[in-house]
Structure 1
Amino acid sequence: MPIKIPLHLPAKEILEKENIFIMDENRASRQDIRPLNILILNLMPEKEKTERQLLRLLGNTPIQVNIHFLKTATYDSKNTSAYHLEEFYQTFNEVKTKKYDGMIITGAPIELMEFEEVDYWDELIEILDWTKENVTSTLHICWGAQAALYHHYGIDKYLLPQKCSGIFTHRVLDETDKLLRGFDDEFPAPHSRNTELSIAALNDHPDLKVLAVSDEAGPLIISSKDGTRIMITGHLEYEATTLAEEYSRDKARGIDIHVPENYFPDNNPEKTPPNRWRSHAHLFFSNWLNYYVYQETPFEWK
């Protein structure tokens, strides 16, 4: 089944060319089914690129999904046009009286800041607390995962000696967990961050379980025991060239950055990197939508 997106969203044309099954509001209104309503709080600077990455994965399940985009009211994005934000995004005040089957909170390139220094931290805390009663399951990505672990569980991030960037092998720690159903025992996933979480602190918390970990890149997938919160420290949603674009951007800014590990063929930035994590990315999002959202959400919110 498809995802339902706004009629003129720019990502629509790109996804249609990739044969991703999508529909606009006009066609969706003629289908007599109960779709899932998914809210995406997009904190990334290049919002259209992140939209495309997430919609590609959300559109590959047998469940019809209605997508709603959320922006911060206390911080204005400088990398996305005001028209795009006004046309396709809402603020928290506009949605806080509603219920959602699932929610995604993206990462943001602000991990070197203390959480309390972030312009929209108070607003994000309000949203995180709101999800407890108004969202069936929330998926937090990269900085969004670190923010959730800090606010909900008191687990802080710490600075790495150098940026963790590349494709790393991860071990499945609990093959019986529904989120990892169908996963290989080992699988690759992209990381791109300057901070890390303590695996000991995660393991010691009674309300958390670590589901996948890398010897090089640390914990990747963490879940609350009840499945209402999923935290992923990497970027399964990344496209094949995303890490290359980030590497070129940082080099152009004069940042002393190493070549992403296990990424470019022959470790040569002039060569086109392959996507080696696509199948597990689709499986992860499908499992989350099916087992943690669709199977758990009420047919009618009270």
Structure 2
Amino acid sequence: MTILIDRDQVISSPALVPAGGGLAHGHAELTIGLINNMPDLALKATERQFMKLLQAAAGPRRIRFHCFSLPSVKRSPEARWHVESEYSELTELRHHKFDGLIVTGAEPVAPELDQEPYWRDLTELIDWAKVNTRSTIWSCLAAHAAVLHLDRIERRRLPAKCHGIFDCEAVTDDPLTRAAPAPLKVSHSRLNELAESDLAQAGYQVLTRSAKAGVDIFVRQYVSRFVFFQGHPEYDALSLQREYLRDIGRYLARERETYPHLPVSYFDAATEEKLNRFEKKAAHQRHPALTNELPALNLRADIAAGSAAAALFRNWLQYLGADARAPLLAR
């Protein structure tokens, strides 16, 4: 799927939009690919989140936004139909010039990253992006996979899922975080983490970190500037709620053994109290039908959904739009 994005309209077509056709108001045009490997239930939501972010951040630029997915990611029949009918084939990636890529994570199905069925496809993509883009964003599990492939840095299992909205502080001056709110409130949802000491020893530069969630954004310069997100700045306000309710459903259906923890700094106090009561009830009446008794959910007023992403993606597009004759170094 290719979306032609500018400030005033979004035009969708099922195939790659051909080059040409003039530039919007004389401004530069950027070509960006989304490699969307998110789980089936989040597939379409992820498309919408990134399209919304890019449209808001684009300013006068026009963006050709192409959707792909790794063919080796396991899909339900419905999700596979959506990818096959609406996305471009991954082989097309090498036939077009891309200024930037965004590569999402995928739901793990193997005990180790390098045993995932999509590992070979993903590592080939990493090697290609190093020299064929101006910058690539690696999100969450994709970030973990990239540093494992590039530098054999192993992620570490957390004692409990890192799930919630965390205050992240800039630890170095960088164009990517220029004019970003302080602190950046960023959604994290992961079972593993990368140690800052391992990243620093391998030559990565940490840009933002959280006292509670650890490393947030880090970068590495190749021919392409690689940007790594341990979190999910693109998440909308309800993304963490959808994941939390999904995990409750899996617990009640006995698809997971433990009840999920409440997302950090996400629901308001009254909602947390109601959910704690529901958890106690679920422990004694563990049945899928109990989801019908979930209470109404209200979020905290200060989660600032999207504010961090707005600044990050505006700065990223500015970097991509810089004069192509300039060195591919952070400005």
Q: Using structure 1 for the length normalisation, give the TM-score.
A: 0.85
**Match of 1:91?**
89
**Match of 2:31?**
37
What is the DSSP-based 3-state SS (H/G/I as helix, E as strand, rest coil) of the residue aligned with 1:59?
helix
Query: Which deviations, in whole Å up to 9, do the C-alpha atoms of 1:89-121 show, x marking residues without a partner?
Result: 122222223221000001212187311211110
Task: Structure 1 unaligned segments of length 5 or more: list them.
Answer: 7-11, 13-18
RMSD: 2.6
**Match of 1:230?**
227
Which amino acid in structure 2 is aligned with residue 203 of structure 1? A
Bigger Cα Rg: 2
User: 2: distance between equivalents of 1:256 and 1:296?
Assistant: 51
**Match of 2:139?**
141
**Match of 1:280?**
308
Shift of 1:257: 1.1
Deviates most, 237-246 or 94-103:
94-103
* Pairing 1:29-68 to 2, within 5 Å after superposition: 31-33=22-24, 34-45=28-39, 46-60=42-56, 61-62=58-59, 63-68=61-66
Q: Is the 8 A contact 2:139 2:231 kept in 1?
A: yes
What is the DSSP-based 3-state SS (H/G/I as helix, E as strand, rest coil) of the residue aligned with 1:139?
strand
**Match of 1:72?**
70
User: 2: distance between equivalents of 1:157 and 1:237?
Assistant: 22
Determine what percentage of the aligned residue pairs are the same residue.
30
Q: Is the 8 A contact 1:112 1:195 kept in 2?
A: no
Which amino acid in structure 2 is aligned with residue 232 of structure 1? F
Shift of 1:131: 0.8
Aligned match for 2:321, one of 280, 294, 302: 294
Query: Which deviations, in whole Å up to 9, do the C-alpha atoms of 1:204-237 show, x marking residues without a partner?
Result: 222x100000111010000114661000000111
Shift of 1:30: 5.0
User: 1: distance between equivalents of 2:174 and 2:314?
Assistant: 14
User: 2: distance between equivalents of 1:217 and 1:73?
Assistant: 32
Task: Structure 2 unaligned segments of length 5 or more: list them.
Answer: 252-257, 276-295, 327-331
Query: Which deviations, in whole Å up to 9, do the C-alpha atoms of 1:2-55 show, x marking residues without a partner?
Result: xx717xxxxx9xxxxxx9743316999754354111011100023111100111
User: 2: distance between equivalents of 1:250 and 1:296?
Assistant: 46
**Match of 2:281?**
none
Aligned match for 1:221, one of 214, 217, 220: 217
What is the DSSP-based 3-state SS (H/G/I as helix, E as strand, rest coil) of the residue aligned with 2:95?
coil
Shift of 1:58: 0.8
**Match of 2:170?**
172
User: 1: distance between equivalents of 2:78 and 2:313?
Assistant: 26
Q: Is the 8 A contact 1:164 1:191 kept in 2?
A: yes
* Pairing 1:247-258 to 2, within 5 Å after superposition: 247-254=244-251, 255-258=258-261
**Match of 2:291?**
none
* Pairing 1:104-143 to 2, within 5 Å after superposition: 104-110=102-108, 113-143=111-141
User: 1: distance between equivalents of 2:23 and 2:180?
Assistant: 33
Q: Is the 8 A contact 1:41 1:69 kept in 2?
A: yes
User: 1: distance between equivalents of 2:211 and 2:53?
Assistant: 27
User: 2: distance between equivalents of 1:217 and 1:112?
Assistant: 24
User: 2: distance between equivalents of 1:136 and 1:80?
Assistant: 34
User: 2: distance between equivalents of 1:243 and 1:261?
Assistant: 10
